[in-house]
Chain A
Amino acid sequence: GAVVSQHPSRVICKSGTSVKIECRSLDFQATTMFWYRQFPKKSLMLMATSNEGSKATYEQGVEKDKFLINHASLTLSTLTVTSAHPEDSSFYICSARTSGMSFKTQYFGPGTRLLVL
């Protein structure tokens, strides 16, 4: 099956610093990647959708200047949390799909736990 990886799996940073999370599709070309945020014991909240080579589409209420998304290649998307604050602490999950996938499903990465001190 399709494999999506995320790096790092866990990151701790100081308030005010920026953190970059990578999402890679390992065995397929991801024309579309999604970034989700999940609070403890809550559902996944879609933050943004990115298509390779174009600007990301952000969901309402998500600050595009704070959560920078880059989808520069068909196998890599990055999420940069700029000037992170403790309220940005969360579990961030990416997913990816390609137009050739049946059922138009998406495959998820293992997630990145961000803790901002």
Chain B
Amino acid sequence: AQTVTQSQPEMSVQEAETVTLSCTYDTSESDYYLFWYKQPPSRQMILVIRQEAYKQQNATENRFSVNFQKAAKSFSLKISDSQLGDAAMYFCAYRSANFNKFYFGSGTKLNVKP
């Protein structure tokens, strides 16, 4: 089975600064999708950004970008110009191209300091 590892249980960043959250995964598949989800205190899971494994170009969504290293099986999330509203749990997730099932990492709690 695929595994997703987030090695940083908790991180802090100063408002307006940049922070990078790490995620590694283990798979033998060549075609898959990777996601970052945000879960604020309301507990609503919100899709932040997504990446198709066959695309070499890193995905970007406004202040959020990823560093996708397929050979290293690494998928880090960079948040630029951090805002107080970015404070939340962030989950990295993997999905096979052929199967419906998502695999989630254990999450990283991001604190944003004013």
The interface of chain A, by Cβ under 8 A from chain B, is 32, 34, 38, 42-44, 46, 49, 91, 93, 95, 97, 103-108, 110-111, 113
Closest to B98 in A: A104
Name the segment of B16-24, B38-46, B71-79 touching the other chain: B38-46
Report whether A42 and B106 are in contact in the complex, using a CB–CB cutoff of 8 Å.
yes
Spell out B's residues near A (CB within 8 Å): 33, 35, 37, 42-47, 50, 52, 91, 95, 97, 100-102, 104-107
Query: Number of contacts between A and B (CB, 8 Å)?
Result: 47
A111 to B42, CA, bound (A): 9
Query: How far apart sit A107 and B65, CA to CA, in the bound complex (Å)?
Result: 20
A31, B91: Cα distance in complex, Å? 24
Specify which chain B residues have a CB less than 8 angstroms from the CB of A34 in the assembled complex.
Answer: 100, 102
Contact B95 A104 (CB under 8 A): yes
Known A-B contacts A103-B52, A105-B33; A43 and B47 likewise in contact (beta carbons under 8 Å): no
Q: Chain B contacts of A113 at CB under 8 A? A: 43
Distance (whole angstroms) from the CB of B100 to the closest CB of chain A = 6
Shortest beta-carbon distance from B89 to chain A in Å: 8
Looking at the assembled complex, report how far the CB atom of B102 sits from the nearest CB atom of chain A, in whole angstroms. 7
B104 pairs with A103, CB closer than 8 A: no
Given contacts A43-B91, A43-B107, contact A105 B47 (CB under 8 A): yes
Is B44's CB under 8 angstroms from A46's CB?
no
Whether A44 contacts B101 by the Cβ 8 Å rule is no
Given contacts A34-B102, A104-B97, 18 further A-B contacts (CB under 8 A): A34-B100, A38-B43, A42-B106, A42-B107, A43-B91, A43-B104, A44-B91, A46-B101, A49-B101, A91-B43, A105-B47, A105-B50, A105-B95, A108-B37, A108-B45, A108-B46, A110-B42, A110-B44
Question: Complex formed: what's the CA distance from A42 to B91 in Å?
Answer: 10
Q: How close is A4's CB to chain B, nearest CB, in angstroms?
A: 10
Q: Within the assembled complex, what's the spacing in Å between the Cα atoms of A14 and B113?
A: 41
29 contacts across the A-B interface (CB closer than 8 A)? A34-B100, A42-B107, A43-B91, A43-B105, A43-B107, A44-B45, A44-B104, A46-B101, A49-B101, A91-B43, A93-B43, A93-B45, A95-B45, A97-B100, A103-B52, A104-B95, A104-B100, A105-B33, A105-B50, A105-B95, A106-B102, A107-B47, A108-B44, A108-B45, A110-B42, A110-B43, A110-B44, A111-B44, A113-B43
